[in-house]
Amino acid sequence: MPAPEPTPPASSLPAAASRFGAHVLADAAARVHDMTAVTGGRPAVPSPPAPAEPPVPPLPEASPAPVPDAGLVRVLAGPSGLGTEGLRLTPRSAPPTAPEPSDPAEGRPVPGLYFHPVPEPDPVRVEEVSRRIKSWALDEVSLYPDDWEEDFDGFSVGRYMVACHPDAPTVDHLMIATRLMVAENAVDDCYCEDHGGSPIGLGERLLLAHTALDPLYTTREYQSQWARSLHADAPRRAYRSAMEYFVQAGSPAQADRYRHDMARLHMGYLAEAAWAQEDKVPEVWEYLAMRQFNNFRPCPTITDTVGGYELPADLHAQEAMQKVIALAGNATTIVNDLYSYTKELRTPGLHLNLPVVIAERENLSEQDGYLKSVEVHNELMHAFETEAASLAAACPVPSVLRFLRGVATWVDGNHYWHRTNTYRYSLPDFW
Ligand SMILES: CC(C)=CCC/C(C)=C(\C)COP(=O)(O)OP(=O)(O)O
Ligand SMILES: [Mg+2]
């Protein structure tokens, strides 16, 4: 992949530097000027079995330069609520967000949900990603037995990832996200949920699988036993292989960011499992805390790797960015609670999700628990957009702006996938 063209930092950098600490922004600006350093020292795309790249039509958003397109304008536009006027960078009359899909896929949105439509994902890319991910699943990691094929296809991971990463420069970049998404779901399904999962012994399984992401370093005798264990089951094979590709494509800091996000995810799975073992329905805030960890966060936070650039670690670590990421992850995950509500009602036992927990803990009907969850989601989305707009204004470094745009696009693509995945999800009859 050719290195992206360097983009000069925005002219307001000195003003932002006075608020953020000159060293942080000076470092960031230096890295933005030297974007080739980001991809120049390592392969831009993973090298394990590298199939030939088919011709992919260039996408309108493929430019590495964070020019304010519709997605970024929306981030920068911020919310419209009381007291948010000062945070908005574009006038309230800013043009509408994303174009309406020309040939909309099926599936209706949750009534009253605050979301942004996305353009239909590029069908050429969807087909190619779908073809390659199946070949990876079957030939490289032996992910599933024959009778799971329908569920694998019904998950439509190609459509999901193409919708969430429209700025990926190549299909190889999209595959980085797609493998990880499939591996993450294999762990959830096989260790925690419908495909043989259980809360019993989950801590052990998750910890051992985590070492496929964050390797064990030990004595020679035990090192080889550990290395063999990574091939022992489908979730570990998938984590190991997907991480190998990711590490080759990203920087050490990006890999470390991902490992940290996955440790968060595994901690969230454990809290959910503990409540299942105890038959406990947590308080609503406790559920929301668990769901901030058992969360889609590891997916939007790789948007820079998939986009072929890097958000520097110090800009990723700043508190305002962490808040934006957490709010985005929480909004996307409550979207899952809403769209998967009926699927989860059908599973044995009480499957916790926000509508169920609100109804139970606040003595509401199922319908009112659901409708209140829609409001919770909408407030999270507005808070995400407010905080993103505020950060974009305060720290207008090109990689920050592009990352914020990538996270916002992921949020919208995630909603699109949930809405249109009628194989997996259906809405309750509440309206
Ligand atoms: C892709 C990824 C990081 C997933 C981690 C957690 C996860 C599986 C979700 C946030 C989705 O929630 P849930 O387990 O409820 O999924 P379904 O409702 O079964 O689709
Ligand atoms: Mg769910």
* Among 402, 127, 132, 152, CA closest to 242: 132
**How confident is the model over 17-46, as a mean pLDDT?**
34
Best residue among 151, 260, 296 to mutate for probing ligand 1's pocket (most ligand atoms within 8 Å of CB) is 296
Ligand 1 centroid, distance to 15 Cα (angstroms): 41
Share of the chain above pLDDT 90, in %: 71
- Is the CB–ligand 1 distance for residue 294 below 6 Å? yes
Interior CA angle at 282 toward 280 and 283, to 5°?
A: 150
The confidence score (pLDDT) of residue 217 equals 98
| Per-residue pLDDT at 416 exceeds 90 | yes
- The answer to whether residue 7 scores a pLDDT higher than 50 is no
Tell me what the mean pLDDT of segment 310-330 comes to.
Answer: 98
Q: Looking at 300-304, 346-350, 404-408, 420-424, which range is the least confident one?
A: 346-350
Nearest CA to ligand 1 atom 12: 336
- The second-level CATH assignment, the architecture, of 13-47+68-85+118-420 is Orthogonal Bundle (1.10)
Span from the CA of 201 to the centroid of ligand 2 (angstroms): 21
Quick: pLDDT tens for 166-223: 999 999 999 999 999 999 999 998 999 767 788 988 999 999 999 999 999 999 999 9
205 three-state secondary structure: helix
| Residue 337 pLDDT grade (very low, low, confident, very high; cuts 50, 70, 90) | very high
pLDDT at 334: 98
110 within ligand 1 shell (Cβ under 6 A): no
Per-residue confidence band for 100, with pLDDT thresholds at 50, 70 and 90: very low
Higher-pLDDT residue of 414, 11: 414
The mean pLDDT value for 279-298 works out to: 98
> Nearest residue CA, atom 2 of ligand 1?
296
The ipTM value here is 0.98
Q: Which of 404, 405, 155, 172 is nearest to 306 (CA)?
A: 172
Ligand 1 atom closest to 344 (CA):
18
- Give, for ligand 1, the residue of 165, 266, 336, 422 to mutate: max count of ligand atoms closer than 8 Å to Cβ: 336
Q: Does the Cβ of 296 fall within 6 Å of ligand 1? A: yes
Question: Atom 10 (ligand 1): residue with closest C-alpha?
Answer: 295
Of all atoms in ligand 1, which is nearest to the CA of residue 194?
19
344 Cα–ligand 2 center, Å: 7
Domain residue ranges of the chain, discontinuous segments joined by +: 13-47+68-85+118-420
Q: Which long-range contacts (CB under 8 A, 24 or more apart) does 205-211 make?
A: 205/235, 206/266, 206/269, 206/270, 207/266, 208/236, 209/235, 209/236, 209/239, 210/262, 210/263, 210/266
**Confidence category of residue 159, pLDDT binned at 50, 70, 90:** very high
Ligand 1: centre distance to CA 295 (Å): 7
